[in-house]
Amino acid sequence: MAELLELSVAEAARQIAAGELSREEYFEAWRGAAAGDQLNAYLWRAEDGTAAGDGPLGGIPVAVKDLFCTEGVQTTAGSRILEGHRPLYTATAVRKLGEAGAGILGKTNMDEFAMGSSNENSAYGPVLNPHDRERVPGGSSGGSAAVVAGGLAPCAIGTDTGGSIRQPASLCGIVGLKPTYGAISRYGMIAFASSLDQCGPLTRDVTDAALLLDAMQGNDPCDSTSVGIAGGVEAPTRTDLEGLRFAVPAELAHDAIEPGVRAVFEQTLKRIEQLGGEIAEVPLPHAEHGISAYYVLAPAEASSNLARYDGVRYGARAEGGDDVVEMYEETRAAGFGDEVKRRIMLGTYALSSGYYDAYYGRAQQVRTKIAEDFAAAFDRFDFVVTPTSPSVAFGLGEKTDDPLAMYMNDFFTVPMSLAGIPAISIPAGTAEPEGGGPQLPVGFQIAAPAFAEQRLLDAAYALEQAIDG
């Protein structure tokens, strides 16, 4: 049984397709593993059924972040306000996984409406890091990262708006890929910040990430902003980095990087050179303003996206209230958590008449500048690399009282989101947390030009083989 659970998704799918492995047995094994969740990682688990379809993911159970609508299955976005909400339809990304033969193993816990970097903002309690249950798994796709890292699912999908796949992947020691904006349909993915949200896989290795990405990517008539990746992606096979140029942002002398994380990062740069890659510094002068711009743009869009949760048509409704406005107010006061309220207020303010130009307009300009910085870097380099997160997993409750410290978790991941380019986090080693304790995973982020996912996966695979070897 344990051996079964150790198969990669690619290998399990191959064995199932070849008739060497029973899909029922495989799914049942994972159902059993998921049933042992002690991390508060699942919000719902499939009690029966299997992955019946044929295809590249035939027979593979997938854990799905509870931000994706699943027809008839509770979809809460980690929020009280959607408690008990059963969508009438299934998100395109999940439907496509099904068409590739996969089945839903469960719905995973997450920061409410994907707002958070620690999974402590879930209305259903925090998810625990499988490497140290006193620590956070990262967020907002913390549940998806924890189930994969904790042996509760063979693979998962999540969403990334400013780092919500990459950062928890880093903190949990797995692979997390945020594809190019537009690679995968957003239809049925409950919106946080529409111009940034992107679906992606969280897996144990790069090959599995490629497999899930290929199944989910594509233009969707239900999402006007989706384009797909021309030709899809194939399983990576490259084992060297000869002739590839990796840029390290010159501004990386960020004093908030933990020494252990910095050491792993530098060690990984050496591995790149050993594999034949070139390393050089590149200026990304506007990247340091990424967090500021992001925390204007994302809340602005969120303030509008979350305005529909009014208790009228679905979800929770607060009783009482003399008129419709009071009903809205009471429903939203009771239904949303503190961080969501904070961001709705920030965003409403940023869009208000008289402030729009100073906040939203200015943040859009910064966003354009950051995209231009990346474009200039990609004129000379194939990739930009950074640590994924400035720190290893931190303690539960450590940063909950300091939103700005929490926001700094996304320092390295937000610029790629703003630029709409793909980026992957792969496990690069471990480090001792500040203040001591057992070693914890450290992620290494590689970013590539828009729609260069194949090149990104190839390089990540080569590096992964070297690190694992």
Partner 1 sequence: MAERAELEAVIGLEIHVQLSTRTKMFCGCELSFGDEPNVHTCPVCLAHPGVLPVPNEAAIRYALKIAAALECEVAPSSTFHRKNYFYPDNAKAYQISQYDEPLAVDGRLGGIRIHRAHLEEDAAKTIHLGGSGRIHGSGASLVDFNRGGTPLVEIVTEPDLRSAGEAGAWARLLRTTVRQLGVSDVNMEEGSLRVDANVSVRPVGSEELGTKTELKNMNSFRFLERGVEAELARQRELIEAGGLVVQETLHFHPEDGSLHPLRSKEEAHDYRYFPEPDLVPLAPTEAMLREARESLPELPEARMKRYESELGLSAEHAAQLAADPEEAAYFEAVCQGAPGAEAQVVANWVTGELAAALRQAEADGERDKVEPAALAALIGLVGEKKISHGSGKQVLSVLIAEGGEPAAIVEREGLAQISDSGELESIVAEAVEANPEAAEQIRAGNGKAIGAIVGAVMKQTKGRADGGEVTRLIQEQLGV
Q: What is the contact surface with partner 1 in residues (CB under 8 A)? A: 68-69, 75, 77, 82, 85, 87-89, 91, 186-191, 193-195, 221-225, 300-301, 303-304, 307-310, 312-314, 324-325, 328, 348, 351-353, 356, 360
The nearest distance, CB 88 to partner 1, in angstroms, is 5
Nearer to partner 1, 88 or 230 (CB): 88
The nearest distance, CB 105 to partner 1, in angstroms, is 20
Instruction: Please give the full DSSP string across 113-178, using - where no structure is assigned.
Output: GG--SSSTT-TT-PPPBTTBTTB---SSSHHHHHHHHTTS-SEEEEEESSSTTHHHHHHHTSEEEE
The nearest distance, CB 152 to partner 1, in angstroms, is 25
- Determine if the peptide bond prior to 140 is cis (ω within 30°): yes
The nearest distance, CB 313 to partner 1, in angstroms, is 6
The nearest distance, CB 189 to partner 1, in angstroms, is 6
Nearer to partner 1, 175 or 327 (CB): 327
Nearer to partner 1, 37 or 310 (CB): 310
The nearest distance, CB 257 to partner 1, in angstroms, is 32
Q: What's the rounded Cα separation, in Å, for the pair 163 and 196?
A: 10
Measured CA to CA in angstroms, residue 392 lies from 15, 187, 258, 346, 387 at distances of 36, 33, 8, 28, 10
Nearer to partner 1, 313 or 438 (CB): 313
Which candidate, 147, 160, 164, places its Cα nearest to that of 64? 147
Instruction: Please give the full DSSP string across 47-100, using - where no structure is assigned.
Output: -S------STTTT-EEEEETTB-BTTB---TT-GGGTT---SS--HHHHHHHHT
Q: What's the rounded Cα separation, in Å, for the pair 314 and 27?
A: 33
Q: What is the DSSP letter of 184?
A: B
Is residue 142 within 8 Å of residue 188, measured between CB atoms?
Answer: no
The nearest distance, CB 311 to partner 1, in angstroms, is 11
Nearer to partner 1, 268 or 305 (CB): 305
- Is 65 a known active-site residue? yes
Give the pair of three-digit tokens for residue 133. Answer: 């249950």
The nearest distance, CB 307 to partner 1, in angstroms, is 3
Query: What are the b/e assignments for 169-203, b being 16+ CB within 10 Å?
Result: bbbbbbbbbbbbbbbbbbbbbbbbbebbbbbbbbb
- Pairing status of strand 175-178 against strand 198-203: antiparallel
Cα dihedral 47, 199, 81, 337 sign: positive
Give the pair of three-digit tokens for residue 3. Answer: 């051996």
Nearer to partner 1, 190 or 456 (CB): 190
Is residue 8 within 8 Å of residue 153, measured between CB atoms?
Answer: no
Task: Find the catalytic residue in 117, 118, 122, 140.
Answer: 140
Q: CA 377, 454, 232, 77: dihedral to nearest 10 degrees?
A: -70
Cα dihedral 268, 274, 280, 286 sign: negative
Contacts of 332 (CB under 8 A, 6+ apart): 81, 309, 310, 311
Nearer to partner 1, 210 or 363 (CB): 363
**Residue 438 CB: number of other CB atoms within 10 A?**
9
- Is 226 a known active-site residue? no
Nearer to partner 1, 195 or 439 (CB): 195
Q: Is 47 exposed, middle or buried (0-12, 13-18, 19+ CB in 10 A)?
A: exposed
Q: What's the rounded Cα separation, in Å, for the pair 211 and 240?
A: 21
Strands (E), 274-366: 278-282
Nearer to partner 1, 76 or 207 (CB): 76
Task: Find the catalytic residue in 118, 141, 164, 389.
Answer: 164
The nearest distance, CB 84 to partner 1, in angstroms, is 13
Active-site positions read 65, 140, 164
